Amino acid sequence: MSTPTEKPTVIIVGAGLGGLMLGALLEKSGVPYTIFERATTVKPLGSAMSIGPTLLPIFQQIGVYDDILSIGKYLTHTETFKENLEPYKPQDYRAIEEYTGYGHYIVARPKYYDVILKQVPAHKIHFGKRVIDITEKDNKVTVHLSSNETFEGDIVVGADGAYSFVRQNIYEKLLAKGNLPKSDQEDLPFNCICLVGQTKPLDDKEFPCIKNPVSQFRIVLADDKPYSWVTLTTNQNTLCFMVMNHLPRTSTKAEIDKNQDTENSGWGPEAAQAMIDETRNFQIELSDGKKHTLGELYDLTPKELISKVSIEEKVFTTWHSGRVVLMGDGAVTAMHDAIALANLIYAMPTKTQEDITTIFEEYHKERLPAVMESFENSQIMSKLTDRGIAGTLYRLLITRMPLWLWRLALTKTVHFRPQVGFLKAIPLQGNVVPFVSPSEQKARAAYERQQEAAAANAASI
């Protein structure tokens, strides 16, 4: 493992969930790092996310487990409805706790972001810093900012989302050399536009569902229009919503937003208003015997906190080049990428190009199966909204699945449960053993060698 003077300096581009998680882990490992984020402030955008066994042990390791549970609302079921609010059979997730020792919690995304942001010292994250170029020379990598500043390090991590500048930068250079696979030259595809937001704290007399200690997670599938929508209750007495517009064909961001700036085309109140107007009369089920619509939630949400974004789905072939490596987009995927990278960076014997290439290849090999599984699961779930016979059959399968098959399907969702190898291990719980994480094993071995060396030095004094 690297000595303190040999630890690589890491530059993280992007302060989303993945970039912050990597920063928080590097902070624990003693690896020097800096985060650059092009946005000038943290925007409290987004809806809610489910956090469960694939992440909760990590939060125990870094000391924020209680913070996460305090902002989360326990989840046991999801309920699916037809457009007329006739229910399908609920899906029961309680077996997850039997398999892993952990349940699922619905956490408002802005609240979660705040918890992780606090794990990164303020002086190590720089907002309003846009990277415009990345160059490599003399065994160093340099990021060039629009402010004419430059920063030098040993590794650059692109954690800047689906439309990553870091990815674009390395792909352009590989393309110029004829080394970029054809699949990576194609535009990023998507077939869904999503409207997300969260109401202000609500009066529990007017909305009794928010008093339930278990999150009310409800999905409505439209009958004859390309929409589905989700509502969730949070621990902050709010209702989160996600409204999906399923496009008739796969498109690209350039086609949808060709006349708008890339940074703003997917997000913001202006982009969201047309979708708000189109969907405000869609019915929702709040289990109080009253008729409710999405429009009620929109009217109870500050307009600047309602966002529209395209949901991209693609697994890129090229994950790294030279001293630059990419992280995935999406909450759990990006955070698991961060865990693997942090483990491997910690365990690096030196910061030579050879060792950097080795850990990047190990990172790709470890993470690719999980990323592919996540992608395939997403593709399968999209069939729920298919308007044809395939969608009808799939909805019947999901809602009438025998218990034994449902339990088997749930076990597949908890196989990837990595931990941080250089922090105290959390004992495994439950009866489903997680897949082996080579990066965790490598970091654990390096950590134990370091502890043994420290003990030997102390004994010799």
Instruction: Return the DSSP state at 416.
Output: -
The pLDDT score that the predictor gives to residue 383 is: 63
Identify the burial level of 373 via C-beta atoms within 10 angstroms of its C-beta, where 0-12 means exposed, 13-18 middle and 19 or more buried.
Answer: middle
Task: Give me the DSSP letters along 110-136.
Answer: HHHHHHHHTTS-GGGEEES--EEEEEE
pLDDT for residue 164 is more than 80: yes
Q: What is the pLDDT of residues 330-387, one digit of tens each?
A: 789 999 999 999 999 999 999 999 999 999 999 999 999 999 888 877 766 666 656 5
| Domain 10-43+109-183+317-456 belongs in CATH node 3.20.10.10 | no
Under 8 Å between Cβ of 143 and 11: yes
Under 8 Å between Cβ of 81 and 221: yes
pLDDT for residue 264 is more than 50: no
Rounded to 5 degrees, φ, ψ at 403 are -60, -40
- 258 or 354: whose pLDDT is higher? 354
**Mean pLDDT on 411-417:** 93
- 77 or 450: whose pLDDT is higher? 77
CB atoms < 10 A from the CB of 114, how many? 14
- 403 or 101: whose pLDDT is higher? 101
Residue 264 Cα distances to 128, 270, 304, 308, 339, angstroms: 15, 10, 13, 10, 30
Task: Give me the DSSP letters along 46-110.
Answer: --EEEE-TTTHHHHHHHT-HHHHHHHEEEE-EEEEEETT--B-PPEE-THHHHHHS--EEEEEHH
**Mean pLDDT on 162-176:** 93
Report how far residue 71's alpha carbon sits from residue 113's, in angstroms, rounded to the nearest whole number: 11
Under 8 Å between Cβ of 280 and 295: yes
Residue 414 Cα distances to 93, 123, 192, 409, 411, angstroms: 12, 36, 26, 10, 6
pLDDT for residue 260 is more than 60: no
Report how far residue 213's alpha carbon sits from residue 168's, in angstroms, rounded to the nearest whole number: 45
Residue 405 Cα distances to 98, 276, 392, 400, 444, angstroms: 16, 38, 19, 10, 36
Report how far residue 137's alpha carbon sits from residue 158's, in angstroms, rounded to the nearest whole number: 19
pLDDT for residue 261 is more than 60: no
Tokens of 217: 């997670």
**Mean pLDDT on 235-249:** 90
Cα dihedral across residues 314, 317, 321, 325: positive or negative: positive
pLDDT for residue 327 is more than 90: yes
Q: Which residues of 214-229 are buried (b: 16+ CB within 10 A; e: fewer)?
A: ebbbbbbbbeeeebbb
Mean pLDDT value across the chain: 89
**Mean pLDDT on 98-119:** 95
Considering the chain, tell me which residue range(s) the CATH 3.50.50.60 domain(s) occupy: 10-43+109-183+317-456
**Mean pLDDT on 66-90:** 94
The pLDDT score that the predictor gives to residue 450 is: 87
Rounded to 5 degrees, φ, ψ at 193 are -115, 135
Helix (H) / strand (E) element for 3: namely none
**Mean pLDDT on 420-447:** 96
Minimum mean pLDDT range among 5-9, 80-84, 162-166, 393-397: 393-397
